[in-house]
Amino acid sequence: MHWHSRLVQPQTLAAPGFESLATPTYRGSTVLFNKQADVVDAWDQAKGGYSYGLYGTPTTLELSGRIAQLEGALHSFVVPGGQAAIALVYFAMCQAGSHALVPHNAYGPNKEMAQGLLKGLGIDVEPYDPLIGAGITDLIRDNTSLIWVESPGSVTMEVQDVPAICAAAHEKGAMVAIDNTYAAGVLFDAFAHGVDINMQALTKYVGGHSDLLLGTVSVNSEVLKEKVGATFKQLGLAVSPDDCNLALRGLQTLGIRLAHLEKSTLEVAEWLTKQSAVAQVLHPAFPSCPGHEIWKRDFTGSSSVFSFLFTDEYTAEQVEKFIDSLSMFKIGMSWGGVTSLALVYPNIERPGKDYAGRLVRLNIGLEQTSDLIADLERAIEVISK
C-alpha cells in the first residue's frame, strides 16, 4: 500500500479496553455499514442502529440519555441551542393555519420567532397573560395546537399555574410545552405537572461555565417522540460532540452548583429587599414575586437568576449608571455560569406595566456573596448621591 493510502486506512490501532471516568468524544459524520443491505437513514439510532453522525454520535446520545433520565423523559433531543430547541417545538407542533399561545414574559427570541418566521408561514402565535391560570381555556381555539409556558418567565419572573394550564389544554386537545431553563429541567418536574414537552437551554445550568451552546427537547410519549423526531431529522439540527462532552462534564457538578447558587442568590436577594432604593424584588422564593404561592407548591428550589426594581425616585439614566458602576457583576447576556452578571432592561414590554428602565436582572455566580453585596452597595451609593 502506498503511504498515502496507509495514512487514510491505517493498520495500527491503540489497544482496546481503556476504562476511564471520562466519556469519550466520538466525532464522526459517516457511519460505516458492513454490507449494502444494512444501510439505513433513520434518526432513531437506538432502535435502528447507527446511521449518520447528524443524528448523534455515542457522545451526543449519552448526553441525550442522561438528560432524559434526569427529567424523567422517554427521549431527549439534543439540539444546537435553546433557541433551536424552541424552533424544533414550534415546527413539530404547528403548521400553516395553526394557532399557538405564548406568555407575554416568554424568552424574547421565542416571541421574535412567533412574529417573524412563524407569522410568515401562516402560524398564528398569540401572547397571553402568564398569570391567567385556568382562564386560558377561553383562549384555546379549535386550531390551537401548542401552548407555551415559561415559569418563572424571563426577566419579570411571574410563576405560572402550569397544572391548571395543562388541564385546560388537554381538555381541548392542545399540547403544552415548557421552557424549563430556569429550573435546569430539575427544580420543576414538568412531566409530573402535566406538561407534554419539556425544553431547556443546556447553555445555562447544565453547561454551567458560559462556554457552550446547546438545548434539549424532551418528550414522554411515543407519539410525540416520532413527531418531534421526524422534524428533528428534517431540520438537520446537528450538534458538536465536543460541546456535548463539555455538557456531560457540567452535569457532574449540576447538583452541587444549583444547591450553592440557590443559597447565595437568596442571600443577595434578601439583602436587596432591605434597601430603600429597591421597590420590589422579583425572586420566586419571595412573596413580592407574582406567583410565589405557586412556586412554593410546585418547585423544589430556586436558582440563580432574578430581577429587582428601583423605586421611582431613580431615573432610567441613574439605573444605567448603576450597572456601569458595578465591578464584580459583569454586563452580559445569558446566565447560569460561574460569573455574576447584571443587565438593565430599558424597553421591556409587558401589557399594562411600565417599568421605565428601572428593572435590573441579576445572575448570581460562584463568587463570595459578601463581595457581591459590597459591589451592589457601592453602585447604589454612586447613583444615590
Ligand X SMILES: *Cc1c(COP(=O)(O)O)cnc(C)c1O
- Count of residues of this chain found to bind ligand X when the rule CB under 6 A is applied: 13
Of the candidates 266, 259, 253, which has an alpha carbon nearest to the alpha carbon of residue 209?
A: 253
Q: Which is nearer to ligand X, 137 or 339 (CB)?
A: 339
Name which position in 147, 159, 213, 269 contacts ligand X (CB under 6 A).
213
**Applying CB under 6 A, does 154 fall inside the site for ligand X?**
yes
Q: Which is nearer to ligand X, 202 or 328 (CB)?
A: 202
Q: Which is nearer to ligand X, 168 or 183 (CB)?
A: 183
We find the least distance from the C-beta atom of residue 22 to ligand X, in angstroms, to be 24
Of the candidates 191, 194, 239, which has an alpha carbon nearest to the alpha carbon of residue 68?
A: 191
We find the least distance from the C-beta atom of residue 219 to ligand X, in angstroms, to be 18
We find the least distance from the C-beta atom of residue 239 to ligand X, in angstroms, to be 11
We find the least distance from the C-beta atom of residue 83 to ligand X, in angstroms, to be 4
Name which position in 51, 57, 60, 83 contacts ligand X (CB under 6 A).
83
**Applying CB under 6 A, does 103 fall inside the site for ligand X?**
no
Of the candidates 205, 178, 361, 186, which has an alpha carbon nearest to the alpha carbon of residue 282?
A: 361
The amino acid that residue 246 corresponds to is L
We find the least distance from the C-beta atom of residue 329 to ligand X, in angstroms, to be 18
Binding mask 278-317 for ligand X (x = CB under 6 A): ----------------------------------------
> How many whole angstroms separate alpha carbon 113 and alpha carbon 31?
34
**Applying CB under 6 A, does 201 fall inside the site for ligand X?**
yes
Q: Which is nearer to ligand X, 152 or 383 (CB)?
A: 152
We find the least distance from the C-beta atom of residue 204 to ligand X, in angstroms, to be 6
Name which position in 25, 334, 339, 369 contacts ligand X (CB under 6 A).
334
Binding mask 167-186 for ligand X (x = CB under 6 A): ------------x-x-----
Q: Which is nearer to ligand X, 144 or 303 (CB)?
A: 303
We find the least distance from the C-beta atom of residue 371 to ligand X, in angstroms, to be 25
Name the CA radius of gyration of the chain, rounded.
23
Q: Is 67 exposed, middle or buried (0-12, 13-18, 19+ CB in 10 A)?
A: buried
Name which position in 64, 105, 203, 218 contacts ligand X (CB under 6 A).
203
We find the least distance from the C-beta atom of residue 215 to ligand X, in angstroms, to be 5
Residues in 43-82 at the binding interface with ligand X, rule: CB under 6 A: 81-82
Q: Which is nearer to ligand X, 213 or 248 (CB)?
A: 213
Q: Which residues bind ligand X (CB under 6 A)?
A: 81-83, 107, 154, 179, 181, 201, 203-204, 213, 215, 334
